[in-house]
Homo-oligomer: A and B are copies of this chain.
Amino acid sequence: MEENIKEILFDLVSRKQFRQLKEKLCDMNEFDIASFMEELDSEKQIIVFRMLPKELASDVFACLEVETQGHIINSITDKELAYIIEELYVDDAVDMLEELPATVVKRVLQNAAPSTRLQINEFLKYPENSAGSIMTAEYIGLKKNMTVEEAFAYIRKHGYDKETIYTCYVMDAKRMLEGVVTVKDLLMSDYEVKMEDIMDTNVIKAVTTDDKEEIADLFNKYDLLSLPVVDHENRLVGIVTIDDAVDVMEEEATEDFEKMAAMHPSEKPYLKTGVFELAKNRIVWLLVLMISSMLTGGILTRYEDAFKVMPLLVSFVPMLTDTGGNAGSQSSTMIIRGMTIGEIASSDILKVIWKEARVSVIVGIILGAVNFVRLVVQYPGQPLVALTVVLALFATVFLAKVIGGMLPIAAKKLHLDPAIMAAPLITTIVDAVSLVIYFQIAVELLHIK
Protein backbone atom coordinates (compact mmCIF):
# COMPACT_ATOMS: atom_id res chain seq x y z
CA MET A 1 0.00 0.00 0.00
CA GLU A 2 1.31 3.43 -0.92
CA GLU A 3 2.17 5.60 2.05
CA ASN A 4 0.12 8.53 0.70
CA ILE A 5 -3.04 6.41 0.54
CA LYS A 6 -2.57 5.62 4.21
CA GLU A 7 -2.20 9.33 4.93
CA ILE A 8 -5.40 10.11 3.05
CA LEU A 9 -7.23 7.46 5.09
CA PHE A 10 -5.90 8.80 8.39
CA ASP A 11 -6.91 12.27 7.34
CA LEU A 12 -10.47 11.09 6.54
CA VAL A 13 -10.69 9.39 9.94
CA SER A 14 -9.52 12.45 11.82
CA ARG A 15 -11.95 14.67 9.90
CA LYS A 16 -14.71 12.09 10.46
CA GLN A 17 -15.44 11.90 6.73
CA PHE A 18 -16.76 8.39 7.14
CA ARG A 19 -18.73 8.22 3.91
CA GLN A 20 -15.69 8.99 1.81
CA LEU A 21 -13.59 6.68 4.00
CA LYS A 22 -16.00 3.81 3.43
CA GLU A 23 -15.85 4.32 -0.33
CA LYS A 24 -12.07 4.26 -0.32
CA LEU A 25 -11.92 1.17 1.92
CA CYS A 26 -14.33 -0.79 -0.25
CA ASP A 27 -11.86 -0.42 -3.14
CA MET A 28 -9.00 -1.87 -1.10
CA ASN A 29 -7.99 -5.45 -0.33
CA GLU A 30 -8.42 -7.01 3.10
CA PHE A 31 -4.66 -7.08 3.86
CA ASP A 32 -4.22 -3.34 3.40
CA ILE A 33 -7.40 -2.51 5.31
CA ALA A 34 -6.22 -4.68 8.20
CA SER A 35 -2.78 -3.07 8.21
CA PHE A 36 -4.45 0.38 8.24
CA MET A 37 -6.78 -0.62 11.09
CA GLU A 38 -3.88 -1.87 13.23
CA GLU A 39 -2.58 1.69 13.37
CA LEU A 40 -5.83 3.21 14.65
CA ASP A 41 -6.76 3.56 18.31
CA SER A 42 -9.15 0.93 19.60
CA GLU A 43 -12.25 3.14 19.48
CA LYS A 44 -11.65 4.09 15.85
CA GLN A 45 -10.92 0.45 14.99
CA ILE A 46 -14.49 -0.45 15.89
CA ILE A 47 -15.95 2.47 13.94
CA VAL A 48 -13.98 1.54 10.82
CA PHE A 49 -14.68 -2.17 11.20
CA ARG A 50 -18.41 -1.58 11.45
CA MET A 51 -18.56 0.52 8.30
CA LEU A 52 -17.23 -2.38 6.19
CA PRO A 53 -19.70 -4.56 4.25
CA LYS A 54 -20.30 -7.88 6.06
CA GLU A 55 -18.26 -10.05 3.73
CA LEU A 56 -15.28 -7.70 3.50
CA ALA A 57 -15.45 -7.27 7.27
CA SER A 58 -14.92 -10.98 7.86
CA ASP A 59 -12.05 -11.11 5.35
CA VAL A 60 -10.42 -8.17 7.11
CA PHE A 61 -11.06 -9.79 10.49
CA ALA A 62 -8.99 -12.83 9.43
CA CYS A 63 -6.01 -10.57 8.64
CA LEU A 64 -6.01 -8.67 11.94
CA GLU A 65 -3.70 -9.42 14.84
CA VAL A 66 -5.11 -11.47 17.70
CA GLU A 67 -5.26 -8.55 20.14
CA THR A 68 -7.35 -6.56 17.68
CA GLN A 69 -9.54 -9.57 16.94
CA GLY A 70 -10.21 -9.97 20.66
CA HIS A 71 -11.01 -6.31 20.99
CA ILE A 72 -13.46 -6.46 18.08
CA ILE A 73 -15.14 -9.60 19.41
CA ASN A 74 -15.76 -7.76 22.67
CA SER A 75 -17.39 -4.87 20.85
CA ILE A 76 -19.78 -6.50 18.40
CA THR A 77 -23.14 -8.19 18.79
CA ASP A 78 -23.66 -11.95 19.01
CA LYS A 79 -25.20 -11.93 15.55
CA GLU A 80 -22.26 -10.14 13.96
CA LEU A 81 -19.91 -12.48 15.77
CA ALA A 82 -21.78 -15.59 14.58
CA TYR A 83 -21.48 -14.41 10.97
CA ILE A 84 -17.73 -13.83 11.26
CA ILE A 85 -17.08 -17.23 12.84
CA GLU A 86 -18.91 -19.03 10.06
CA GLU A 87 -16.91 -17.12 7.45
CA LEU A 88 -13.52 -17.76 9.05
CA TYR A 89 -11.50 -20.75 7.87
CA VAL A 90 -11.09 -23.28 10.67
CA ASP A 91 -7.30 -22.83 10.77
CA ASP A 92 -7.62 -19.07 11.25
CA ALA A 93 -10.30 -19.55 13.90
CA VAL A 94 -8.13 -22.04 15.77
CA ASP A 95 -5.04 -19.82 15.58
CA MET A 96 -7.06 -17.00 17.08
CA LEU A 97 -8.75 -19.03 19.82
CA GLU A 98 -5.43 -20.48 20.98
CA GLU A 99 -4.30 -17.02 21.97
CA LEU A 100 -7.46 -15.36 23.24
CA PRO A 101 -8.44 -15.29 26.93
CA ALA A 102 -10.80 -18.06 28.07
CA THR A 103 -13.83 -15.80 28.47
CA VAL A 104 -13.59 -14.58 24.88
CA VAL A 105 -13.09 -18.14 23.61
CA LYS A 106 -16.23 -19.17 25.45
CA ARG A 107 -18.28 -16.42 23.84
CA VAL A 108 -16.93 -17.30 20.38
CA LEU A 109 -17.78 -20.97 20.76
CA GLN A 110 -21.25 -20.16 22.12
CA ASN A 111 -22.01 -18.17 19.01
CA ALA A 112 -20.66 -20.71 16.54
CA ALA A 113 -23.04 -23.06 14.75
CA PRO A 114 -23.00 -26.53 16.41
CA SER A 115 -21.12 -28.16 13.51
CA THR A 116 -18.52 -25.38 13.42
CA ARG A 117 -18.12 -25.59 17.18
CA LEU A 118 -17.55 -29.32 16.96
CA GLN A 119 -14.95 -28.88 14.25
CA ILE A 120 -13.13 -26.09 16.06
CA ASN A 121 -13.02 -28.16 19.23
CA GLU A 122 -11.67 -31.10 17.24
CA PHE A 123 -8.95 -28.97 15.66
CA LEU A 124 -8.00 -27.34 18.95
CA LYS A 125 -6.96 -30.78 20.21
CA TYR A 126 -4.11 -31.30 17.73
CA PRO A 127 -0.73 -30.90 19.39
CA GLU A 128 1.13 -27.65 18.91
CA ASN A 129 3.57 -27.81 15.98
CA SER A 130 1.73 -30.75 14.39
CA ALA A 131 0.31 -30.86 10.87
CA GLY A 132 -3.13 -30.92 12.53
CA SER A 133 -2.48 -27.57 14.16
CA ILE A 134 -1.94 -25.74 10.86
CA MET A 135 -4.46 -27.50 8.62
CA THR A 136 -7.88 -26.28 7.63
CA ALA A 137 -11.08 -28.17 6.86
CA GLU A 138 -12.25 -26.14 3.87
CA TYR A 139 -11.26 -28.26 0.87
CA ILE A 140 -13.06 -29.72 -2.13
CA GLY A 141 -13.73 -33.44 -1.73
CA LEU A 142 -14.83 -35.38 -4.83
CA LYS A 143 -15.92 -38.98 -5.46
CA LYS A 144 -14.06 -41.18 -7.89
CA ASN A 145 -17.07 -42.00 -10.06
CA MET A 146 -17.87 -38.32 -10.64
CA THR A 147 -17.37 -37.02 -14.18
CA VAL A 148 -15.46 -33.84 -14.94
CA GLU A 149 -18.78 -32.12 -15.60
CA GLU A 150 -20.15 -33.20 -12.21
CA ALA A 151 -16.93 -32.14 -10.54
CA PHE A 152 -17.22 -28.66 -12.05
CA ALA A 153 -20.84 -28.44 -10.94
CA TYR A 154 -19.79 -29.47 -7.43
CA ILE A 155 -16.97 -26.92 -7.33
CA ARG A 156 -19.26 -24.15 -8.60
CA LYS A 157 -21.73 -24.95 -5.85
CA HIS A 158 -19.39 -25.54 -2.92
CA GLY A 159 -16.20 -23.76 -3.91
CA TYR A 160 -16.99 -20.23 -2.76
CA ASP A 161 -16.00 -20.78 0.86
CA LYS A 162 -13.10 -23.19 0.30
CA GLU A 163 -9.56 -22.10 1.05
CA THR A 164 -8.32 -23.59 -2.22
CA ILE A 165 -10.27 -25.11 -5.06
CA TYR A 166 -7.28 -25.75 -7.31
CA THR A 167 -6.41 -29.12 -5.85
CA CYS A 168 -9.37 -31.41 -5.18
CA TYR A 169 -9.25 -34.58 -3.14
CA VAL A 170 -10.90 -37.81 -4.28
CA MET A 171 -12.21 -40.01 -1.47
CA ASP A 172 -14.10 -43.27 -1.16
CA ALA A 173 -17.30 -43.70 0.86
CA LYS A 174 -15.31 -43.99 4.10
CA ARG A 175 -13.46 -40.70 3.44
CA MET A 176 -10.28 -42.65 2.69
CA LEU A 177 -8.04 -40.51 0.46
CA GLU A 178 -7.66 -42.16 -2.94
CA GLY A 179 -6.18 -39.51 -5.20
CA VAL A 180 -5.87 -35.86 -6.15
CA VAL A 181 -7.15 -33.96 -9.16
CA THR A 182 -6.18 -30.39 -9.98
CA VAL A 183 -8.51 -27.92 -11.63
CA LYS A 184 -5.92 -27.82 -14.41
CA ASP A 185 -6.48 -31.59 -14.95
CA LEU A 186 -10.22 -30.96 -15.00
CA LEU A 187 -9.90 -28.13 -17.51
CA MET A 188 -7.67 -30.20 -19.77
CA SER A 189 -10.04 -33.20 -19.77
CA ASP A 190 -13.33 -33.89 -21.54
CA TYR A 191 -16.58 -33.44 -19.61
CA GLU A 192 -17.47 -37.13 -19.50
CA VAL A 193 -14.14 -38.40 -18.13
CA LYS A 194 -14.34 -39.87 -14.62
CA MET A 195 -12.23 -38.75 -11.67
CA GLU A 196 -10.74 -42.22 -11.24
CA ASP A 197 -9.28 -41.97 -14.75
CA ILE A 198 -7.53 -38.66 -14.28
CA MET A 199 -6.73 -38.60 -10.57
CA ASP A 200 -3.15 -38.97 -9.43
CA THR A 201 -3.08 -41.85 -6.94
CA ASN A 202 0.52 -41.24 -5.99
CA VAL A 203 -0.48 -38.66 -3.38
CA ILE A 204 2.01 -36.75 -1.29
CA LYS A 205 0.29 -36.45 2.07
CA ALA A 206 0.89 -35.94 5.77
CA VAL A 207 -0.51 -37.41 8.97
CA THR A 208 -2.11 -35.10 11.56
CA THR A 209 0.67 -35.79 14.06
CA ASP A 210 3.57 -35.04 11.67
CA ASP A 211 5.78 -32.16 12.68
CA LYS A 212 4.84 -28.95 10.90
CA GLU A 213 8.44 -28.35 9.84
CA GLU A 214 8.36 -31.62 7.89
CA ILE A 215 5.22 -30.31 6.18
CA ALA A 216 7.03 -27.14 5.15
CA ASP A 217 9.88 -29.27 3.76
CA LEU A 218 7.40 -31.23 1.63
CA PHE A 219 6.04 -28.01 0.13
CA ASN A 220 9.59 -26.97 -0.69
CA LYS A 221 10.65 -30.28 -2.14
CA TYR A 222 7.59 -30.91 -4.31
CA ASP A 223 6.54 -27.34 -5.13
CA LEU A 224 3.06 -27.97 -3.70
CA LEU A 225 0.20 -25.48 -3.41
CA SER A 226 -1.65 -27.60 -0.85
CA LEU A 227 -1.15 -30.87 0.99
CA PRO A 228 -3.78 -33.32 2.25
CA VAL A 229 -3.62 -34.37 5.90
CA VAL A 230 -4.99 -37.76 6.92
CA ASP A 231 -5.55 -39.43 10.29
CA HIS A 232 -3.91 -42.70 11.24
CA GLU A 233 -6.59 -44.63 9.31
CA ASN A 234 -5.83 -42.68 6.08
CA ARG A 235 -9.09 -40.73 6.36
CA LEU A 236 -8.81 -37.20 4.99
CA VAL A 237 -9.30 -34.68 7.79
CA GLY A 238 -7.93 -31.46 6.35
CA ILE A 239 -5.47 -29.70 4.10
CA VAL A 240 -2.53 -27.40 4.61
CA THR A 241 -2.27 -24.53 2.13
CA ILE A 242 0.98 -22.95 0.96
CA ASP A 243 0.43 -19.65 2.79
CA ASP A 244 0.51 -21.53 6.10
CA ALA A 245 3.51 -23.58 4.99
CA VAL A 246 5.36 -20.35 4.16
CA ASP A 247 4.53 -19.02 7.62
CA VAL A 248 6.04 -22.17 9.11
CA MET A 249 9.23 -21.70 7.07
CA GLU A 250 9.57 -18.11 8.27
CA GLU A 251 8.93 -19.12 11.88
CA GLU A 252 11.45 -21.90 11.56
CA ALA A 253 14.11 -19.49 10.30
CA THR A 254 13.29 -17.05 13.12
CA GLU A 255 13.58 -19.84 15.69
CA ASP A 256 16.95 -20.83 14.27
CA PHE A 257 18.19 -17.26 14.50
CA GLU A 258 17.11 -17.16 18.14
CA LYS A 259 18.55 -20.55 19.02
CA MET A 260 21.83 -19.74 17.29
CA ALA A 261 22.10 -16.58 19.37
CA ALA A 262 21.63 -18.71 22.52
CA MET A 263 18.00 -17.91 23.23
CA HIS A 264 14.95 -19.98 23.87
CA PRO A 265 12.71 -19.20 20.85
CA SER A 266 9.84 -16.88 21.66
CA GLU A 267 6.28 -17.49 20.62
CA LYS A 268 5.30 -13.90 20.00
CA PRO A 269 6.74 -10.95 18.04
CA TYR A 270 9.45 -9.07 19.93
CA LEU A 271 7.46 -5.91 20.59
CA LYS A 272 4.55 -7.94 21.99
CA THR A 273 6.69 -10.10 24.27
CA GLY A 274 6.85 -9.06 27.90
CA VAL A 275 10.12 -8.09 29.55
CA PHE A 276 10.02 -11.06 31.95
CA GLU A 277 9.42 -13.53 29.16
CA LEU A 278 12.29 -12.09 27.13
CA ALA A 279 14.53 -12.29 30.19
CA LYS A 280 13.43 -15.87 30.83
CA ASN A 281 14.19 -16.87 27.23
CA ARG A 282 17.69 -15.44 27.51
CA ILE A 283 18.89 -16.13 31.02
CA VAL A 284 19.39 -19.91 30.85
CA TRP A 285 21.96 -19.86 28.08
CA LEU A 286 23.61 -16.76 29.50
CA LEU A 287 24.10 -18.61 32.79
CA VAL A 288 25.39 -21.77 31.12
CA LEU A 289 27.83 -19.82 28.97
CA MET A 290 28.89 -17.59 31.86
CA ILE A 291 29.79 -20.58 33.97
CA SER A 292 31.65 -22.15 31.04
CA SER A 293 33.68 -19.01 30.55
CA MET A 294 34.54 -18.97 34.26
CA LEU A 295 36.33 -22.23 33.53
CA THR A 296 38.18 -20.47 30.71
CA GLY A 297 39.11 -17.81 33.25
CA GLY A 298 40.41 -20.60 35.46
CA ILE A 299 42.86 -21.52 32.70
CA LEU A 300 44.27 -18.01 32.84
CA THR A 301 45.00 -18.28 36.57
CA ARG A 302 47.24 -21.26 35.80
CA TYR A 303 49.43 -18.94 33.75
CA GLU A 304 49.42 -16.05 36.23
CA ASP A 305 53.17 -16.25 36.54
CA ALA A 306 53.62 -15.98 32.77
CA PHE A 307 51.82 -12.69 32.52
CA LYS A 308 53.36 -11.37 35.71
CA VAL A 309 56.70 -11.74 33.93
CA MET A 310 55.41 -10.47 30.60
CA PRO A 311 52.16 -8.47 30.97
CA LEU A 312 52.26 -7.71 27.24
CA LEU A 313 51.04 -11.26 26.60
CA VAL A 314 47.67 -10.47 28.11
CA SER A 315 46.99 -7.71 25.63
CA PHE A 316 46.80 -10.24 22.78
CA VAL A 317 44.14 -12.34 24.50
CA PRO A 318 41.06 -10.47 23.16
CA MET A 319 42.44 -10.59 19.62
CA LEU A 320 43.07 -14.33 19.85
CA THR A 321 39.80 -15.33 21.44
CA ASP A 322 37.68 -13.00 19.30
CA THR A 323 39.28 -14.15 16.06
CA GLY A 324 38.93 -17.79 17.11
CA GLY A 325 35.31 -17.23 18.02
CA ASN A 326 34.55 -15.48 14.76
CA ALA A 327 36.35 -18.09 12.64
CA GLY A 328 34.51 -20.89 14.44
CA SER A 329 31.09 -19.33 14.24
CA GLN A 330 31.50 -18.66 10.52
CA SER A 331 31.98 -22.38 10.01
CA SER A 332 29.28 -23.55 12.40
CA THR A 333 26.75 -21.11 10.94
CA MET A 334 27.32 -22.40 7.40
CA ILE A 335 27.06 -26.02 8.48
CA ILE A 336 23.95 -25.53 10.65
CA ARG A 337 22.15 -23.64 7.91
CA GLY A 338 23.29 -26.15 5.30
CA MET A 339 21.80 -28.97 7.36
CA THR A 340 18.53 -27.06 7.90
CA ILE A 341 17.97 -26.57 4.18
CA GLY A 342 19.09 -30.11 3.39
CA GLU A 343 22.32 -29.27 1.57
CA ILE A 344 24.56 -31.02 4.08
CA ALA A 345 23.89 -34.50 5.49
CA SER A 346 25.44 -36.14 8.56
CA SER A 347 27.36 -38.41 6.20
CA ASP A 348 29.24 -35.40 4.82
CA ILE A 349 31.20 -34.96 8.05
CA LEU A 350 34.58 -35.91 6.58
CA LYS A 351 34.07 -33.69 3.54
CA VAL A 352 33.19 -30.81 5.85
CA ILE A 353 36.23 -31.32 8.06
CA TRP A 354 38.58 -31.54 5.06
CA LYS A 355 37.05 -28.43 3.53
CA GLU A 356 37.20 -26.44 6.77
CA ALA A 357 40.78 -27.55 7.37
CA ARG A 358 41.90 -26.21 3.98
CA VAL A 359 39.90 -22.98 4.33
CA SER A 360 41.41 -22.44 7.78
CA VAL A 361 44.95 -22.85 6.43
CA ILE A 362 44.37 -20.11 3.84
CA VAL A 363 42.61 -17.81 6.27
CA GLY A 364 45.09 -18.58 9.05
CA ILE A 365 48.10 -17.71 6.89
CA ILE A 366 46.63 -14.36 5.87
CA LEU A 367 45.60 -13.40 9.39
CA GLY A 368 48.97 -14.56 10.74
CA ALA A 369 50.90 -12.59 8.15
CA VAL A 370 48.99 -9.37 8.90
CA ASN A 371 49.57 -9.88 12.59
CA PHE A 372 53.25 -10.64 12.15
CA VAL A 373 53.87 -7.43 10.23
CA ARG A 374 51.98 -5.44 12.83
CA LEU A 375 53.86 -7.03 15.75
CA VAL A 376 57.29 -6.61 14.18
CA VAL A 377 56.53 -2.93 13.57
CA GLN A 378 54.96 -2.29 16.97
CA TYR A 379 57.36 -4.33 19.13
CA PRO A 380 60.59 -4.35 17.07
CA GLY A 381 62.85 -6.03 19.64
CA GLN A 382 60.63 -9.05 20.32
CA PRO A 383 60.50 -11.46 17.38
CA LEU A 384 59.70 -14.39 19.67
CA VAL A 385 56.60 -12.68 21.03
CA ALA A 386 55.48 -12.08 17.45
CA LEU A 387 56.13 -15.72 16.63
CA THR A 388 54.19 -16.89 19.68
CA VAL A 389 51.16 -14.79 18.80
CA VAL A 390 51.20 -15.79 15.14
CA LEU A 391 51.57 -19.51 15.85
CA ALA A 392 48.82 -19.39 18.46
CA LEU A 393 46.56 -17.48 16.06
CA PHE A 394 47.09 -20.00 13.28
CA ALA A 395 46.40 -22.96 15.56
CA THR A 396 43.32 -21.21 16.98
CA VAL A 397 41.84 -20.48 13.56
CA PHE A 398 42.53 -24.03 12.42
CA LEU A 399 40.92 -25.64 15.46
CA ALA A 400 38.05 -23.15 15.52
CA LYS A 401 37.06 -23.94 11.95
CA VAL A 402 37.40 -27.69 12.32
CA ILE A 403 35.50 -27.71 15.62
CA GLY A 404 32.93 -25.27 14.24
CA GLY A 405 32.35 -27.48 11.20
CA MET A 406 32.31 -30.75 13.11
CA LEU A 407 30.24 -30.08 16.23
CA PRO A 408 26.90 -29.25 14.55
CA ILE A 409 27.07 -32.53 12.61
CA ALA A 410 28.11 -34.41 15.74
CA ALA A 411 25.14 -32.87 17.56
CA LYS A 412 22.81 -34.10 14.87
CA LYS A 413 24.28 -37.60 15.07
CA LEU A 414 23.55 -37.54 18.79
CA HIS A 415 19.97 -36.43 18.01
CA LEU A 416 20.58 -33.00 19.50
CA ASP A 417 19.56 -29.78 17.80
CA PRO A 418 22.57 -28.66 15.71
CA ALA A 419 21.60 -25.04 16.36
CA ILE A 420 22.96 -25.26 19.92
CA MET A 421 26.43 -25.67 18.41
CA ALA A 422 26.29 -22.11 17.16
CA ALA A 423 28.44 -19.04 17.76
CA PRO A 424 28.00 -18.70 21.56
CA LEU A 425 28.94 -22.26 22.52
CA ILE A 426 31.60 -22.55 19.81
CA THR A 427 33.13 -19.28 21.01
CA THR A 428 33.29 -20.54 24.58
CA ILE A 429 34.91 -23.81 23.56
CA VAL A 430 37.37 -22.16 21.19
CA ASP A 431 38.27 -19.56 23.84
CA ALA A 432 39.42 -22.23 26.23
CA VAL A 433 41.33 -24.15 23.57
CA SER A 434 43.05 -21.09 22.16
CA LEU A 435 44.19 -19.82 25.55
CA VAL A 436 45.80 -23.12 26.43
CA ILE A 437 47.59 -23.21 23.08
CA TYR A 438 48.69 -19.60 23.38
CA PHE A 439 50.17 -19.84 26.85
CA GLN A 440 51.69 -23.23 26.18
CA ILE A 441 53.49 -21.85 23.13
CA ALA A 442 54.52 -18.81 25.18
CA VAL A 443 55.94 -20.98 27.94
CA GLU A 444 57.92 -23.04 25.42
CA LEU A 445 59.18 -20.27 23.16
CA LEU A 446 59.71 -17.51 25.68
CA HIS A 447 60.94 -19.79 28.47
CA ILE A 448 58.68 -18.24 31.07
CA LYS A 449 57.04 -20.36 33.66
Report A's interface with B, CB cutoff 8 A. 27-29, 31, 152, 155-156, 159-160, 165-166, 183-184, 187-188, 202, 204, 219-223, 225, 242-243, 246, 249-250, 253-254, 256-258, 260-263, 269-271, 275-276, 278-279, 282-283, 285-287, 289-291, 293-294, 296-298, 300-301, 304, 307-308, 311-312, 314-319, 321-323, 325-327, 329-330, 332-338, 341, 343-344, 348, 351-352, 355, 358-359, 362-363, 366-367, 370-371, 374, 423-424, 427-428, 431, 435
Contact = CB atoms under 8 A, between A and B. Distances in A.
Contact of A293 (B160, B319, B341): B319
Chain A interface, >50% SS class: helix
* Copies of this polypeptide in the complex: 2
Contact of A225 (B225, B271, B276): B225
A291 B326 CA distance: 13
Contact of A184 (B159, B285, B431): B159
6 shortest A-B CB distances, which residue pairs?
A261-B333, A293-B322, A279-B362, A297-B315, A253-B253, A304-B311
A241 B264 CA distance: 35
A246 B325 CA distance: 32
Contacts of A348: 271
A374 B300 contact: no
A261 B220 contact: no
B279 A363 contact: yes
Contact of A311 (B269, B308, B335): B308
Contacts of A355: 270-271, 275, 278
A322 to B, nearest CB: 4
A361 B167 CA distance: 53
A61 to B, nearest CB: 15
Contacts of A314: 300, 304, 307, 314
A397 to B, nearest CB: 8
A409 to B, nearest CB: 12
A338 B263 CA distance: 15
7 contacts: A257-B257, A257-B334, A258-B337, A271-B338, A275-B362, A293-B318, A297-B317
B29 A202 contact: yes
A280 to B, nearest CB: 9
A40 to B, nearest CB: 16
Given A300-B314, A300-B318, A319-B290, A29 B262 contact: no
Contact of A362 (B276, B291, B335): B276
B335 A319 contact: no
Contacts of A279: 359, 362-363, 366
A359 B275 contact: yes
Contact of A269 (B262, B285, B343): B343
B290 A370 contact: yes
Looking at A253, A258, A289, A336, which has the most chain B CB atoms within 10 Å of its CB?
A253
A323 B294 CA distance: 10
B317 A29 contact: no
A159 B166 CA distance: 14
A424 B261 CA distance: 11
Contact of A423 (B261, B271, B311, B428): B261
A188 B165 CA distance: 11
A312 B316 contact: no
Nearest to A351: B271
Nearest to A224: B243
A155 B188 CA distance: 8
Contacts of A334: 257-258, 261, 263, 270
